Structure 1
């Protein structure tokens, strides 16, 4: 997406302004030739840019167009747009207050029914993009309307500093690709794993929740809940699952084959232990960490030798007792 579109410029206007900034000034026909456009398209767009104060006709050379200095002209547009956004934010706050007041008097307005994969996906994205502090998510093994690889709103929200707490059902961990795991690692999200997650759930800022309406229906549907009491109940459910789930400790080492592990666990060892204790198989760990199966097995063998463990269960206990893995 053209960055100048945020200031109200069309792609054509942005292209012409960029070209004029680089050229310093030129005529309509030359600009049309350089940008591979018709003279009529260029002429109309230049008039529009002139109205926004971004270009002007040269007083010394008739027919010549010059770009206004970006440091002045674009800053003015940025300030205008910032003022418009501040006004829009005030209006949004007033409308939200009106909505809450009206909803308080009508119980039917406290729960919104959303039907269809497109509508469910849109509301899911809106919840994340509208969050200002935290998003809590329960993920089950059931089919979803929004695959993790298509959840761009999560990338945007996490980049803004929104805290994500996610609990995965154990079977989901087995199905998670290495690409998805790396994406989570880069976002520094808090992820835990539970044997069983009771339901899909999204809670934004502890005040709005979204749950599936009918998991068996071929057409996805969900409830968006605004009621404080209902949301608090769902938040209690999330906190209960979160407390009992095992935390995944992510690392991102550039490791493929390791001949000998250093004394004690390094970050890669901790990642392997975390996934194993969460229930992942050796093959799943190797796939998710993008290393060879023998590398994982060698690391596990080395850790068992270092702790004197004769089984994976004993290794888990030893790792916990030594403080390698702790529940936050």
Structure 2
């Protein structure tokens, strides 16, 4: 009984390999067992419509597994070993060729990988890779994310995430988190006003990621496994490319910077605490930017908000300090010990 089951499965596998579906196989097996059956018998016993039976008979005839009999609507089932062996030999030869081609392709990929790695090492200078285009930066970040084994941390200055950026990041983030890699991202407080970004951050958190916000960020930064850091060549022009740093001392310092910012950042799911009599984190950020001599346009870029919002925030700060000008606000902040 067991041998019959194995034989049945073996025949089924062979017939599937030559392109016969389950209905074709049922018709062929029925004619092997009942060579005297005609169309009506097949239809009655197998419960198949006549159209399906005729299609099956045509396919079986194409493979020479079936020949018409001298009787009306009678068929002779051919010997499967005789008829199918040449076909299986051809399929086996094609499979051998595919295996040989796959082996050659693997060897080519290995050679290209070796060349790619060599060029990357040669293009680097003492642990620094220079990526000279936005496309090369995206490709390298994709590689680093897929290679990460423990954590990926990021500063994401700028405004809300575009729909295209979210669509590109979602599958990669999902795969990275599914591998058990911890992901921590810091955005600007301004993204709290963008529904799409908040929705993405909520999804990210449900997948196991962590998202926080701060009034301002020092730079765009990606850290992988505390061993690699990616920073832009020009903070104001991402299209100019980026540096990939492997210098342990520099990467360690950037990780410490991340931890300092992360500690004072607020989880995106929490409501920011209202201002009290003392300076808020946003107030201190604005004052420091004023001290740096940034224009409203520069402050807007740093905070990821509009110039109109910057002017409103400045007006609120001057009111809190009871100052008539920004210079007076700075002097009053120094007197109060805010700076």
Give me the TM-score of the superposition, normalised by structure 2: 0.45
Give me the TM-score of the superposition, normalised by structure 1: 0.47
Pair member with larger Rg: 2
More helix by share: 2
